[in-house]
């Protein structure tokens, strides 16, 4: 039976599309079913991609929690993450993939998933330890202009509480090109992402299956 994958998005959803296409094209690329999509942005185009593919989705935004708890943003985030974990677990996925998900997951979200045996992976557009957090492509581009680096890359990694610090599954280096625009670099990186997000998802599922067999 195909593994069940839930995808978290915040924007355009081109990596979600890559996962949908891979899961429907060839089982050897990705023998999995994309069962549900959760977005923290109402206008995320990825929600339309999910609808076009006949995949159910949920909109789950932090704003309502901040309004309920205006004096304690930390508590608001905790409550949001607790409910996010409940939403995810209600779909009974084997794996959660963060594909352009722009919300840092706290232990309030991660711990219930771990307890339920659900792995979570993320695509990050930088090499391990190089540009953690947001705007990684822009930061790498600027560092290249200053002569500080000659390459950047993408990685698929397991998610832990420390941002972009989980164990890498795939790391792909991408050489910087002199005179290239930021947009051109982004396009080159996205092309690599669309291939590797499917590969990383497949590898995480294979690892999960292997661990399951070992523990039985």
Distance between CA atoms of residues 155 and 172, nearest Å: 6
174 phi/psi in degrees, rounded to 5: -130, 120
- Catalytic residue positions, numbered: 124
- Residues near 51 by Cβ (< 8 Å), separated by ≥ 6? 57
Q: How far is residue 13 CA from its own chain's centroid? A: 10
56 phi/psi in degrees, rounded to 5: -70, 155
Distance between CA atoms of residues 113 and 119, nearest Å: 7
Six token digits for residue 196: 């590797």
Six token digits for residue 104: 């840092």
Alpha-carbon dihedral 47, 123, 126, 159, rounded to 10 degrees: 120
Distance between CA atoms of residues 136 and 125, nearest Å: 6
Cβ neighbours of 216 (radius 10 Å): 5
């Amino acid at each position: 039976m195909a593994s069940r994958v839930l995808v978290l998005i915040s924007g355009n959803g081109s990596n979600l599309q890559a996962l949908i296409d891979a899961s429907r094209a060839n089982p050897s690329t990705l023998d999995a079913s994309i069962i549900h999509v959760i977005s923290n942005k109402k206008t995320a185009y990825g929600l339309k991609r999910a609808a076009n593919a006949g995949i159910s989705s949920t909109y789950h935004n932090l704003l309502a929690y901040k309004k309920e708890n205006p004096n304690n943003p930390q508590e608001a985030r905790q409550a949001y993450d607790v409910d996010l974990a409940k939403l995810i677990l209600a779909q009974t996925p084997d794996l959660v993939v963060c594909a352009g998900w722009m919300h840092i997951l706290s232990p309030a979200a991660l711990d219930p998933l771990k307890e339920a045996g659900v792995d979570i992976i993320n695509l990050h557009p930088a090499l391990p330890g190089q540009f953690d957090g947001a705007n990684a492509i822009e930061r790498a581009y600027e560092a290249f202009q200053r002569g500080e680096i000659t390459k950047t890359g993408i990685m698929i990694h397991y998610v832990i509480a420390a941002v972009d610090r989980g164990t890498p599954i795939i790391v792909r280096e991408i050489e910087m090109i002199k005179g290239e625009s930021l947009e051109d670099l982004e396009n080159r990186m996205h092309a690599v992402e669309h291939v590797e997000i499917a590969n990383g998802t497949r590898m995480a599922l294979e690892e999960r299956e292997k661990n399951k067999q070992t523990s039985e």
